[in-house]
Structure 1
């Protein structure tokens, strides 16, 4: 009789592979995952079926982490103007903690979306409309969620392409001021 699948082992391996992919990008070979987990390629294939199935599992786990992390940043904070919340979220999402998600999912959009995760681009856009609409409703701007999301996504692409943090942060502050003329500037990066 063969071994029975052990979900707790697969879950631990998936966490290690996800950590590796967030740190270095999604590999196009199995070997980086082998090195990151310390198990054989055969063991990874036993638990996940194929390299592509493991890659999809890694993407889904990373996406869940991103939704949790960014979702917490975008939630309404009682007693705080939502533009201040957005400013803090912006700095975190475009800083070291958020860049790993943006790099990996940008890589997916550019190279493999059709083969690994059909429909990812749509999902990666529409997932954020609800939290933004809820937050913006707290300042009477719920109808601005699509515009705010589009500007955020565009500024993230600009930042990725140019690395001009100061210019892009100023543009983000202009967005905040369009929502609330008294919006504070995003917190200093540090």
Structure 2
């Protein structure tokens, strides 16, 4: 039985913070419980199991990254929107959320639940937020899907390379080129 209580919400938030600091791979309930000030038995009291806890953590993490995008002011145009979205996506909070997402996506590729379902759900919400921002900046709704498919794939690749490529000038040029490509898709 899953408990829908204020304590569950508090534990979920604390567990999310823990996962953002330590990652999902190798997540163990005892160290997590100790870090959030409870026992593994109490975690299992409030969550249906480790999978329920992990799914909740992933949803909260994704909500945080989507909130960063939704909080952006309207961009002047589509090109600027891409640059604004990149800055938002690489902010410290978003970067932490994206790292947890990548771990979950990797586990989801192996067919493991709850990762498959939660990552699919997270993708839908993330892509919707990106599309809404591009449309607000002038991209037509009809072209938003195509623009977001390229934007999301490029952002993921660039973010995966962040720790591997110390040359920021390459990344800046790639993001600028991406902004030009998305603006071309959006406009014509």
How far 1:140 sits from its partner (Å)? 4.1
CA contact 2:78–2:183 (8 Å) conserved in 1: no
Task: Give runs of aligned pairs for residues 61-72 of structure 1, distance below 5 A.
Answer: 61-72=60-71
Match in the other structure for 1:109 = 105
Gaps of 5+ in 1: 182-190
CA contact 2:81–2:134 (8 Å) conserved in 1: no
Match in the other structure for 2:134 = 136
How far 1:108 sits from its partner (Å)? 0.8
> Matched residues in 2 for 1:120 and 1:106: separation?
12
SS in 1 for 2:138: coil
Q: Relative to 1, partners in 2 of residues 1:60 and 1:129: Cα closer, same or farther, differing over 3 Å? A: closer
Task: Give runs of aligned pairs for residues 152-163 of structure 1, distance below 5 A.
Answer: 152-163=155-166
Match in the other structure for 1:55 = 54
> Matched residues in 2 for 1:42 and 1:130: separation?
37
> Matched residues in 2 for 1:141 and 1:148: separation?
15
1:15 aligns with 2:13: yes
How far 1:96 sits from its partner (Å)? 1.9
1:37 aligns with 2:36: yes
> Matched residues in 1 for 2:182 and 2:53: separation?
42
SS in 2 for 1:162: coil
Q: Which runs of 4+ in 1 moved over 4 A?
A: none
- The alignment covers a number of residue pairs equal to 174
How far 1:76 sits from its partner (Å)? 2.8
Q: CA RMSD in A?
A: 2.6
Bigger Rg, structure 1 or 2 = 1
The C-alpha deviation readout for 1:129-180, integer Å capped at 9, x for no partner, is 3333343343345513322233222322333543543312210011113345
How far 1:10 sits from its partner (Å)? 1.1
1:145 aligns with 2:148: yes
CA contact 1:76–1:82 (8 Å) conserved in 2: no
